[in-house]
Amino acid sequence: MLRRPRGSDAIAIRRVVAETDVLDLNSTYAYLLLATDFADTTVVAETDGRVTGVITGYVPPQRPDVLFVWQVAVAPAAQGRGIAGAMLDHLVRRVVGDRGGRPLTVEATVAPDNAPSRAFFASFARRHGVPISEQPHFTAAQLDPDLTHADEPLLRIGPIVTPTAI
């Protein structure tokens, strides 16, 4: 089942992100904000009453035509079954519907060496027949003074015009 998160999901969301072992792990408080104030732009997947996936996102105040996707995580045991793709489709359909059908562009930053993430967004773009572009965005220097973090260029996917086609 795919649904909006609730405050009571914050700990489980954090667990799923931790289980991936590759994403930056944020505080429970951060996930609580996302599960409450940003619930309209966040989605969880639930399997047998347990949270198995999450996409956190928000609409940047300066770019109201954008859904910025922050973290995409599926618990290792649930990967490879289409959960992440279904979550993003569900989230985009919901946000486009909430906005009265106005076109939406999905943005996400992806480290150059994160092949699964790139494949995931490329697959989303193909599925919806929209272009995907890449431009410089967050830099290693902004993310870590020791420069151990890679640059995070921005992927832009869209605009997605017709929610019924999703």
In the complex, which residues of this chain contact ligand COA (CB under 6 A)?
20, 22-23, 72-74, 79-85, 114-117, 119-120, 123
Least CB distance from residue 100 to ligand COA, whole Å?
28
Q: Distance between CA atoms of 22 and 38, rounded to whole angstroms?
A: 23
Nearer to ligand COA, 41 or 117 (CB): 117
Least CB distance from residue 26 to ligand COA, whole Å?
14
Instruction: Show the 3-state SS of 35-74.
Output: HHCCHHHCEEEEECCEEEEEEEEECCCCCCCEEEEEEEEE
**Crossing angle of helices 115-128/83-98, nearest 10°?**
50
Least CB distance from residue 55 to ligand COA, whole Å?
8
Nearer to ligand COA, 101 or 165 (CB): 165
